Structure 1
Amino acid sequence: MPVYQINKGINKPIEFKGLKAQYIGYLAGGLVSLLILFAVMYISGMPVYICFLTITALGIGLFYQVYRLSHKYGRYGLMKRTALRYMPGYLKFNSRKLFTRLKK
Protein backbone atom coordinates (compact mmCIF):
# COMPACT_ATOMS: atom_id res chain seq x y z
CA MET A 1 0.00 0.00 0.00
CA PRO A 2 1.58 3.35 -1.05
CA VAL A 3 2.25 6.05 1.52
CA TYR A 4 1.58 9.60 0.40
CA GLN A 5 3.12 12.70 1.93
CA ILE A 6 0.71 15.38 3.09
CA ASN A 7 1.45 18.87 1.83
CA LYS A 8 2.04 21.00 4.92
CA GLY A 9 2.93 24.12 2.96
CA ILE A 10 -0.44 25.83 3.21
CA ASN A 11 -0.22 29.64 2.91
CA LYS A 12 3.51 29.52 2.20
CA PRO A 13 4.91 31.14 -0.94
CA ILE A 14 6.00 28.96 -3.80
CA GLU A 15 9.78 28.60 -3.85
CA PHE A 16 11.98 27.08 -6.54
CA LYS A 17 15.77 27.08 -6.27
CA GLY A 18 15.73 30.22 -4.13
CA LEU A 19 13.21 32.15 -6.22
CA LYS A 20 10.11 33.15 -4.32
CA ALA A 21 6.52 33.62 -5.48
CA GLN A 22 6.07 35.84 -8.55
CA TYR A 23 9.78 35.90 -9.43
CA ILE A 24 9.44 32.43 -10.92
CA GLY A 25 7.01 33.92 -13.44
CA TYR A 26 9.29 36.90 -14.09
CA LEU A 27 12.20 34.59 -14.85
CA ALA A 28 10.06 32.38 -17.10
CA GLY A 29 8.77 35.39 -19.03
CA GLY A 30 12.30 36.72 -19.42
CA LEU A 31 13.57 33.39 -20.72
CA VAL A 32 10.74 33.17 -23.25
CA SER A 33 11.51 36.69 -24.45
CA LEU A 34 15.20 35.75 -24.80
CA LEU A 35 14.20 32.73 -26.87
CA ILE A 36 12.09 34.92 -29.15
CA LEU A 37 14.93 37.45 -29.40
CA PHE A 38 17.34 34.68 -30.40
CA ALA A 39 14.92 33.50 -33.10
CA VAL A 40 14.53 37.03 -34.47
CA MET A 41 18.29 37.60 -34.50
CA TYR A 42 18.93 34.26 -36.19
CA ILE A 43 16.23 34.74 -38.83
CA SER A 44 17.47 38.25 -39.58
CA GLY A 45 20.81 36.76 -40.64
CA MET A 46 23.14 37.52 -37.76
CA PRO A 47 25.95 35.03 -37.21
CA VAL A 48 25.10 32.31 -34.70
CA TYR A 49 28.02 33.03 -32.38
CA ILE A 50 27.00 36.69 -32.02
CA CYS A 51 23.41 35.61 -31.31
CA PHE A 52 24.63 33.08 -28.77
CA LEU A 53 26.97 35.52 -26.99
CA THR A 54 24.30 38.22 -26.85
CA ILE A 55 21.60 35.90 -25.51
CA THR A 56 24.03 34.38 -23.00
CA ALA A 57 25.03 37.79 -21.65
CA LEU A 58 21.40 38.93 -21.43
CA GLY A 59 20.43 35.62 -19.79
CA ILE A 60 23.12 35.98 -17.12
CA GLY A 61 21.95 39.53 -16.47
CA LEU A 62 18.34 38.35 -16.25
CA PHE A 63 19.18 35.62 -13.73
CA TYR A 64 21.29 38.00 -11.66
CA GLN A 65 18.61 40.69 -11.57
CA VAL A 66 15.71 38.34 -10.78
CA TYR A 67 17.60 36.56 -7.99
CA ARG A 68 18.74 39.89 -6.56
CA LEU A 69 15.18 41.23 -6.51
CA SER A 70 13.88 37.97 -5.04
CA HIS A 71 16.34 38.06 -2.17
CA LYS A 72 15.97 41.80 -1.58
CA TYR A 73 12.19 42.09 -1.60
CA GLY A 74 11.11 38.52 -0.88
CA ARG A 75 7.57 37.24 -1.11
CA TYR A 76 5.80 40.57 -1.41
CA GLY A 77 7.98 41.58 -4.28
CA LEU A 78 8.02 44.96 -5.76
CA MET A 79 5.01 46.13 -3.77
CA LYS A 80 7.43 47.33 -1.08
CA ARG A 81 9.49 49.20 -3.63
CA THR A 82 6.42 50.77 -5.20
CA ALA A 83 4.98 51.73 -1.82
CA LEU A 84 8.25 53.37 -0.81
CA ARG A 85 7.96 55.81 -3.71
CA TYR A 86 4.61 57.04 -2.40
CA MET A 87 5.83 57.60 1.15
CA PRO A 88 6.49 61.24 1.98
CA GLY A 89 9.97 62.28 2.99
CA TYR A 90 8.64 63.75 6.22
CA LEU A 91 5.35 64.50 7.96
CA LYS A 92 4.55 67.93 9.34
CA PHE A 93 1.94 68.50 12.03
CA ASN A 94 0.91 71.88 13.35
CA SER A 95 -0.78 70.51 16.45
CA ARG A 96 -0.98 67.37 18.56
CA LYS A 97 -4.76 67.06 18.32
CA LEU A 98 -4.51 64.15 15.93
CA PHE A 99 -2.57 62.06 18.42
CA THR A 100 -4.48 63.12 21.54
CA ARG A 101 -7.81 62.10 19.99
CA LEU A 102 -6.70 58.56 19.19
CA LYS A 103 -7.59 57.18 22.64
CA LYS A 104 -11.14 58.51 22.58
Structure 2
Amino acid sequence: MEQIMTYVKPELIVVTIVLYFIGMWLKQSQTVNDKYIPLLLGGIGIVISAVYVFATCQCSNAQEIALAVFIAVTQGVLVAGLSTYVNQMAKQLKKERMIRKNT
Protein backbone atom coordinates (compact mmCIF):
# COMPACT_ATOMS: atom_id res chain seq x y z
CA MET A 1 0.00 0.00 0.00
CA GLU A 2 2.84 2.38 0.79
CA GLN A 3 4.19 1.98 -2.72
CA ILE A 4 0.82 2.93 -4.23
CA MET A 5 0.62 5.94 -1.93
CA THR A 6 3.81 7.33 -3.47
CA TYR A 7 2.00 7.58 -6.81
CA VAL A 8 -1.16 9.28 -5.53
CA LYS A 9 -1.13 13.04 -5.37
CA PRO A 10 -1.37 14.02 -1.67
CA GLU A 11 -4.27 16.36 -2.42
CA LEU A 12 -6.30 13.44 -3.79
CA ILE A 13 -5.89 11.11 -0.78
CA VAL A 14 -9.13 12.53 0.62
CA VAL A 15 -10.90 11.20 -2.50
CA THR A 16 -10.02 7.70 -1.29
CA ILE A 17 -11.99 8.33 1.90
CA VAL A 18 -14.90 9.81 -0.02
CA LEU A 19 -14.98 6.79 -2.34
CA TYR A 20 -14.83 4.42 0.62
CA PHE A 21 -17.95 5.98 2.11
CA ILE A 22 -19.72 6.06 -1.26
CA GLY A 23 -18.94 2.36 -1.63
CA MET A 24 -20.31 1.63 1.84
CA TRP A 25 -23.45 3.58 1.03
CA LEU A 26 -23.93 1.72 -2.27
CA LYS A 27 -23.47 -1.62 -0.51
CA GLN A 28 -26.00 -0.77 2.21
CA SER A 29 -28.54 0.68 -0.20
CA GLN A 30 -28.51 -2.54 -2.24
CA THR A 31 -29.39 -0.53 -5.36
CA VAL A 32 -26.27 -1.69 -7.17
CA ASN A 33 -25.00 -5.24 -7.54
CA ASP A 34 -21.84 -5.66 -5.41
CA LYS A 35 -19.72 -6.65 -8.39
CA TYR A 36 -20.32 -3.25 -10.01
CA ILE A 37 -19.37 -1.14 -6.99
CA PRO A 38 -15.60 -1.08 -7.74
CA LEU A 39 -16.37 -0.09 -11.34
CA LEU A 40 -18.61 2.76 -10.20
CA LEU A 41 -16.03 3.89 -7.67
CA GLY A 42 -13.42 3.89 -10.44
CA GLY A 43 -15.61 6.09 -12.61
CA ILE A 44 -16.40 8.48 -9.77
CA GLY A 45 -12.70 8.59 -8.83
CA ILE A 46 -11.75 9.48 -12.40
CA VAL A 47 -14.38 12.24 -12.57
CA ILE A 48 -13.33 13.78 -9.24
CA SER A 49 -9.66 13.54 -10.20
CA ALA A 50 -10.40 15.13 -13.58
CA VAL A 51 -12.13 18.06 -11.88
CA TYR A 52 -9.09 18.57 -9.67
CA VAL A 53 -6.51 18.15 -12.45
CA PHE A 54 -8.26 20.48 -14.88
CA ALA A 55 -8.92 23.05 -12.14
CA THR A 56 -5.22 23.18 -11.27
CA CYS A 57 -3.57 22.95 -14.69
CA GLN A 58 -3.05 25.54 -17.36
CA CYS A 59 -3.79 23.47 -20.43
CA SER A 60 -2.88 25.57 -23.44
CA ASN A 61 -2.20 22.93 -26.08
CA ALA A 62 -3.19 19.40 -27.05
CA GLN A 63 -0.17 17.80 -25.37
CA GLU A 64 -0.97 19.41 -22.01
CA ILE A 65 -4.63 18.39 -22.31
CA ALA A 66 -3.64 14.80 -23.11
CA LEU A 67 -1.30 14.77 -20.11
CA ALA A 68 -4.06 16.14 -17.87
CA VAL A 69 -6.45 13.42 -19.06
CA PHE A 70 -3.81 10.76 -18.43
CA ILE A 71 -3.13 12.08 -14.94
CA ALA A 72 -6.85 12.27 -14.15
CA VAL A 73 -7.46 8.69 -15.25
CA THR A 74 -4.45 7.23 -13.46
CA GLN A 75 -5.14 9.16 -10.26
CA GLY A 76 -8.82 8.18 -10.39
CA VAL A 77 -7.98 4.51 -10.78
CA LEU A 78 -5.40 4.69 -7.98
CA VAL A 79 -7.70 6.37 -5.46
CA ALA A 80 -10.53 3.95 -6.32
CA GLY A 81 -8.12 1.05 -5.89
CA LEU A 82 -7.02 2.39 -2.53
CA SER A 83 -10.61 2.74 -1.34
CA THR A 84 -11.34 -0.85 -2.36
CA TYR A 85 -8.11 -1.98 -0.68
CA VAL A 86 -9.08 -0.21 2.56
CA ASN A 87 -12.51 -1.85 2.42
CA GLN A 88 -11.02 -5.32 1.94
CA MET A 89 -8.49 -4.78 4.73
CA ALA A 90 -11.29 -3.79 7.12
CA LYS A 91 -13.25 -6.91 6.15
CA GLN A 92 -10.25 -9.19 6.65
CA LEU A 93 -9.39 -7.67 10.03
CA LYS A 94 -13.00 -8.06 11.14
CA LYS A 95 -13.03 -11.68 9.95
CA GLU A 96 -9.75 -12.35 11.76
CA ARG A 97 -11.14 -10.93 15.02
CA MET A 98 -14.22 -13.12 14.70
CA ILE A 99 -12.05 -16.22 14.20
CA ARG A 100 -9.93 -15.37 17.25
CA LYS A 101 -13.04 -14.71 19.32
CA ASN A 102 -14.54 -18.11 18.44
CA THR A 103 -11.39 -20.10 19.25
Superposition TM-score tier, normalisation by shorter sequence: 0.3 to 0.5
TM-score (norm 2): 0.40
Greater relative contact order (CA < 8 Å, ≥ 6 in sequence): 2
Q: Which has the larger radius of gyration?
A: 1
TM-score (norm 1): 0.40
Larger helix fraction of residues? 2
